[in-house]
Every structure is written in structure tokens, then in C-alpha cells.
Structure 1
């Protein structure tokens, strides 16, 4: 390890601190891709079970500023829980395996039950990991979805973990020329990533291949386009 890095970690060990992230704001901002354990599973936790927390280093590591680590639950009380760190931190000298942590149930991002207990089944939840093509401006610039259509999937690779949906999502382009629209960059990404920023078209998600819809910003509704209706900027 470089001397500068060693001195930095020494200062972190002697004077640094740590905190536990509250994942609820992340879940609220990314409801279609970031999931937390349901309340019934958290209520079923007992001492000896494992919970995963996001622990943030202050000051941060030179590589990252937080680590997801397992903690063995020790005590459960209305004013807070406690547990011992079950992982060896990768680069967080303020903590070590076995360190005592205090946290609240809302900090938990994952869990593992010890032994076989009659835990109620997890509610069914639809996930949106199938891939689509979307204009970058929808994801990065807050441009609202304007035109959605579904064609025969042709982007998938045989080694892809998730299939290609055929959905194509275009941001509002009413003020663009055809050349400007053609020059727009796009991404091949999970549908859930698009829904996180604009889920106005969610009700159309199961429409068949060949469907096309244009958003009416006056009414908020998506109006279907037929083959004869045409659309110059598909």
C-alpha cells in the first residue's frame, strides 16, 4: 500500500467515524429497481438473524465511501436494535468484524433468517429488468416521455441476463428537427430505470409488438397510432 494511502487510513482509524445510510430516500426515488424487505419479514427477525446495512465511512475510502455489510442481530427494542458486524470491511478502518452497531429497522436493505421458521411468503412483486432503448435526455435531463412504441426485439445478445422487450421510448421532441432528433444519444437499459423517472406509460407495458402511442400533453393521455396514421419521427 502506498505510504500516502497508509497515512490516510491511519487518520481515518484514529479520527474517522461511520454512519448507517437510510435507504428509504433511494427506494422512493427508484421504486421500480430498488427494493427493500417487506415489513412482515422485518417484524419476524430475531436475535441471531442477519441483516444487511449500508455503512458509510467518514472520511470516505479512496475507492468508495460506503460498504454493504451483514450484521448479526443481537438485541431488538422499540428504541433501537443492536448487532455485531459479520463481515470484514474492505476499506473501513473505523470498524472491524465483531464491532457493535446500533441501528433501526428502517436501515435494513436485506435479511437472512437463521434456521427454519414459518415466515409468511413474500408478496408477489413484478420487476422490470427487461431491456429497452430510451433517449438519454429522458434519463438524464428530465425530458418527459412523448412517443413509445414496441417492435420486434433485435438488440439482445445470447449472453444477456435479461431479455430485450422491444420497447423504444422517445423524449419530447416537438421542438426538434428531424436531424436533431436523429442525433440524440440513447441507452439500452432496464425498463425499470425509465419508469423511475417517468412511469406515465406504465399502463401500456403489456401492449403487443406493433403498438405505438403518442402522449397528449394537454390531457396527459397516450393516444394510439395506427399504421395508416403515420409518424414522421419514429
Structure 2
């Protein structure tokens, strides 16, 4: 999901709906991260959490993210208060449940370890991400030296068209690849020089 200003791309409707996180998590389990049940259980009045809103009747549109402050909790619902800087039409106070919470302002038990693992970078054949091409094989090369918030895995994933130059591959989170196919995930600890090839009966790993 990416943040957008609905006023630029939205041509109808007069309101907003809170966005449930579960359907997004089901579609993108390795790149959409939400607080754990343990983290949500420790929320307190005064905490800030992030929720998502989409134009009413258009749940497929990208969500506008908004930070709100929790006040009181009753019958599974948190009453919350939004800042003045909020999209037009979003009320200043409203109720949410745990499934509406995208992020918390203060982590008490969760760590960023899972995010760092799946947001580490890889090179991926664009056809796998956008055209539904099947992952045919992966090669782990020496990770490039790049600056950025996330590590480099060195993995290159190719579709049925075979090897392509790195400048023709998408460079980004390996979680995007796993959202499409995670059947090889247990093999991704293989060392530099390893090649993972899809066969009719599964994956085969070759190492130097």
C-alpha cells in the first residue's frame, strides 16, 4: 500500500471508510507489517496509533494513513482523537478496533527484526512482480555495496526468460518476491555462489 492524496485521483463519493489490515496482510504478508497481538494488548490511553482511510465504496484504492491518539477502551473498541491535519471529511473523533491499527507510535514488545529480514534488498525479474511470471531460478551473488536503510541479500531471481543484466532487474525488498512465491524461502540461507533451480518435483540447491 502507498499513501496518496485521494483528492487527486478520486472522482466520487463523499466520505471515508476505515481500512481493515487483515486483507492487505493476506495479500502481502512479507511487506505489510502490523503490530502483534501482544503489542496491541499493551496499548494504553494516550498512545498514538496509525490507521488507514480509503474513499467510501472504493476499498481497492490506496489508503490515506493517519496518526490518532487513543483515549478510552470499551467493548473491544478504542475511542480515538485525530489531529486537525486530517483529510477533509474524516471526523475528529471515532472508534476503532485492533484490526484497524496499522502501526503503533511506541513499541513495547515488538522489534523490527522481521521487517529488516523481508525488506532486505534483492534483484528480481520485473516479469515475476508485474506479469505473473513464475520464478525459475535464483542465484546468490556477492551483495553490492549500497547505502540505504536495509541490507543487501545478494539474491537475484529470474523468470522463465532466463538471466538478465542487473540493470534490467528490479532492485527492492525480497519480501516482494516472497509475496508472489515463498516456496523457496527455507533455502534462502544458502551461501554466496548458491544457485536454486525449480524442478518439477521442487527446488534443487547447487553450491560452489
Q: Evaluate the alpha carbon distance shift between residue 59 and residue 197 of structure 1 in structure 2; reply closer, same or farther with a 3 A threshold.
A: closer
User: How high is the TM-score relative to the length of structure 1?
Assistant: 0.71
Does 2:78 align with 1:85? Answer: no
Identify which of 94, 99, 107 aligns with 1:101. Answer: 94
Equivalent-residue separation in structure 2 for 1:137 and 1:54 (angstroms): 30
Does 2:204 align with 1:223? Answer: yes
Q: Evaluate the alpha carbon distance shift between residue 125 and residue 87 of structure 1 in structure 2; reply closer, same or farther with a 3 A threshold.
A: farther
Q: Deviations over 1:19-60 (max 9, x none)?
A: 111111111111111111011121122222222111224599
Q: Deviations over 1:133-175 (max 9, x none)?
A: 1111111122221111111234x43x333332221111134xx
Equivalent-residue separation in structure 2 for 1:65 and 1:57 (angstroms): 9
Name the counterpart of 1:73.
Answer: 70
Q: Which runs of 5+ in 2 are unaligned?
A: 1-7
Secondary structure class of the residue paired with 1:162 = coil
Does 2:206 align with 1:209? Answer: no
Q: Evaluate the alpha carbon distance shift between residue 209 and residue 164 of structure 1 in structure 2; reply closer, same or farther with a 3 A threshold.
A: same
RMSD of Structure 2 on Structure 1 (CA): 3.0
Which is greater in Rg? 1
Q: Which runs of 5+ in 1 are unaligned?
A: 1-7, 228-234
User: How high is the TM-score relative to the length of structure 2?
Assistant: 0.79
Q: Deviations over 1:113-151 (max 9, x none)?
A: 59xxxx5x3268432222211111111122221111111
Name the counterpart of 1:110.
Answer: 103
Name the counterpart of 1:232.
Answer: none
Equivalent-residue separation in structure 2 for 1:135 and 1:83 (angstroms): 43
